[in-house]
Amino acid sequence: MSDPSGTTWDVIVAGGGNAGLCAAIEAAERGASVLILDVAPKAYRGGNSRHTRNFRCMHQGPLSVLTDSYDEDEYFDDLLRVTKGKTDEDLARMTIRMSEECLPWMEAHGVRFQPSLSGTLSLSRTNAFFLGGGKALVNAYYNTAEDLGVSVIYEANVTHIDIAEGRFSGLDVEIGGQTKRIKGKTLVLASGGFQANIDWLAEAWGPAARNFLIRGTPYNRGRVLRDMLDQGADSVGDPTQCHAVAIDGRAATFDAGIVTRLDCVPFSVVVNKNGERFYDEGEDVWPKRYAIWGRLVAGQPEQVGFAVIDSQAINDFMPSVFPPETADTIEGLAQKLGLPGNALKETIDAYNAACRPGTFEPNDLDGLSTEGLDPPKTNWARPITEPPYYGYMLKTGVTFTYLGLKVDRTSRVSTAAGKLENVWAAGEIMAGSILGEGYLAGFGMTIGTVFGRIAGQEAAAHVA
């Protein structure tokens, strides 16, 4: 493209993931000239959206691939439960209500949905899965944006947002080793969280953060967010709060995505590096507990856990990308996992002794609970007795951080001096406005789509 600094753009979008693309498409459809700046190279465009798989959506009756109905109150209750009340009810309910009209909008802009994936049937009512996953969604939006005349620059690293007297006028961006100044009438901030910036994570978490794995894009380093916070933008969220799950400890530091997910926890005994249990593995069905284990493992010595199962359980969960460690004895498995053999044997023996007869039912809360064990395992407590034994190392996998920009119902960013006249934020950079803690599967894409669209509409209206 020609030199982007030669024009004053109607709308500049920082970040080319789901939220940024929704904003760009809405603005371009309203006649605005739009420039997307994405820090990643083209192959890695789309931020974390590249790794996503579904969109949590309210609906009154069957809608597209979604079965039955999922109403506002049930959706909001689900959110309240995972956030333990730490949410903004007004923004949350607005997001939930708007999700319903978003799904047809997404389809009209190229996104294709497919029925719930095998192994995820419990989500068929609440979450619409993208055919091909998030990268296919991102591709569809980039094609739609291109057809609308949106300009995109990849490997464009926004270093500074120029804000004076409550107004954005332009930004500095490194492109091809040169810093350029690009002028714009409005700005949409959709550059994600800061989870790929381990130093920043360590400021909040301490040295524990050095043992975290980052499940998604290595490009969400929070540079734009930091620049906005340094300029006094109102922030929301606790810097230690994030979407974090327990993933295979052998995963790469960045970008391993969905395939390192381990679904074996409910059927396992999980111990720390001392071979001791620390939490009820059978608390609830896995999708509802998936998002707490990241923090649980983060709270253990060296931020590591180990899930142990036996041959009875090996086919009860979806396979993950790395094969488990295998041994014919618990001590042998301990050796392979680098655990103290005696301690692990004692833990497994104590657990086995606390198991009670009953019917094991992998897909339901089966009530098969231990007795006299602390902490208890309240479901799927089947003795681990049938070799070979299998073990997986668990580490904390951070999906995205919640500390971000505070926005209002129009997605507008503010400072202590009041609302900024022409700056909006959407997606993970403002998700903390709704997610105080905890996570609801598919809700990140809902927040991104709803606020991305609002931001694009607002920005276009501002320049109209």
Partner 1 sequence: MSLDISQDGQGAIAEARRQAEICNACRYCEGYCDVFPAMFRERAFSDADITQLANLCHNCRGCYYACQYTEPHAFALNIPAALSEVRAESWERYAWPAGLGGQFHRSGVAVAAALVAGIALMLLAMWSWAPASGDGFYAYLSHTVMVAIFAPAFLFPALPLYLGLRRYWAEVGGGPVGWAHLKEAAARTANMKNLSGGQGQGCNFEQEDRYSNARRHAHQATLWGFLLCFASTSSGTVLHYGFGLEAPYGFFSLPKLLGVPGGVLLTIGAFSLAWLKTKADPALGSASRWGGEMAFVLLLGATGLGGLVLYAATGSALVPSVLALHLGTVLTLFLLTPYSKMAHGAYRFAALVRDAQARP
State in angstroms the smallest separation of the CB of 415 from partner 1.
Answer: 36
- The CB-of-368 to partner 1 minimum distance in angstroms stands at 24
For the CB of residue 130, give the shortest distance to partner 1 in the complex, in Å: 7
Distance CA 384, CA 345 (A): 11
Contact indicator for 451, 19 with CB cutoff of 8 Å: yes
Q: What angle do CA 458, 460, 464 make, to 5 degrees?
A: 120
Q: Applying CB under 8 A, which of residues 86, 97, 125, 135 lies at the interface with partner 1?
A: 135
Determine whether 350 is exposed, middle or buried from the number of CB atoms within 10 Å of its CB (0-12, 13-18, 19+). middle
Distance (Å, rounded) from C-alpha 464 to C-alpha 462? 6
Instruction: Based on the shown chain and the rule CB under 8 A, indicate whether residue 148 belongs to the binding site for partner 1.
Output: no
By CB atoms closer than 10 A (0-12, 13-18, 19+), residue 212 is: buried
- DSSP-derived pairing of the beta strands 127-130 and 213-214: unpaired
Among 115, 299, 341, 383, binds partner 1 (CB under 8 A): 115
Amino acid, single-letter form, for residue 317: F
Residue type, 35: L
Closest separation between CB of residue 101 and partner 1, Å? 22
Contact call for residues 225 and 429 (beta carbons, < 8 A): yes
Tell me the per-residue interface mask from 299 to 318 with partner 1, x by CB under 8 A, - otherwise: ----------------x--x
Would you count residue 118 as binding partner 1 (CB under 8 A)? yes
Q: Which is nearer to partner 1, 266 or 404 (CB)?
A: 266
Q: Out of 45, 53, 223, 273, point to the residue binding partner 1 (CB under 8 A).
A: 53
- By CB under 8 A, tell whether 395 contacts partner 1: no
Residue 401 touching partner 1 (CB under 8 A): no
State how far the Cα of 290 lies from the Cα of 440, in Å rounded to an integer: 10
Q: Tell me whether residue 112 or residue 419 sits nearer to partner 1 (CB atom).
A: 112
In the complex with partner 1, the residue whose CB is nearer, 351 or 400, is 400
Give 136 or 202: the residue with its C-beta nearer to partner 1.
136
> Is position 277 an interface residue for partner 1 (rule: CB under 8 A)?
no
User: For residue 348, what are its two tokens?
Assistant: 């497994």
Q: Is residue 133 involved in binding partner 1 (CB under 8 A)? A: yes
Q: Residue 257 Cβ, how far from partner 1 at the closest point, in Å?
A: 5
Between CA 181 and CA 109 the distance in angstroms is 31
Nearer CB in complex with partner 1: 254/278: 254
Residue among 83 and 320 whose Cβ is closer to partner 1: 320
- The span from the CA of 435 to the CA of 241, in Å, is 9
- 185 is a site residue for partner 1 (CB under 8 A): no
**Considering beta carbons, is residue 234 or 325 the nearer one to partner 1?**
325
Please report, as residue ranges, which positions from 233 to 252 form the binding site for partner 1 (by CB under 8 A): 252
Which of residues 2, 3, 43, 374 is near partner 1 by CB under 8 A?
Answer: 43
Give me the phi and psi of 55, to 5 degrees please.
Answer: -135, 120
Under the binding rule (CB under 8 A), the answer on residue 362 touching partner 1 is: no
Interatomic CA distance for residues 253 and 420, integer angstroms: 37
Task: Locate 345 and state its tokens.
Answer: 């044997």
With tokens 């094969």, the residue in question is 323
The two structure tokens encoding residue 119: 């192994």
Contact between 92 and 409 under an 8 Å Cβ cutoff? The reply is no
The binder of partner 1 chosen from 184, 192, 249, 257 (CB under 8 A): 257
Residue type, 202: A
Candidate list 9, 70, 75, 130; residue touching partner 1; CB under 8 A? 130
Size of the site for partner 1 (CB under 8 A): 34
Residues that bind partner 1 (CB under 8 A): 43-44, 50-51, 53, 112, 114-115, 117-119, 129-136, 139, 142-143, 252, 255, 257-261, 315, 318-321
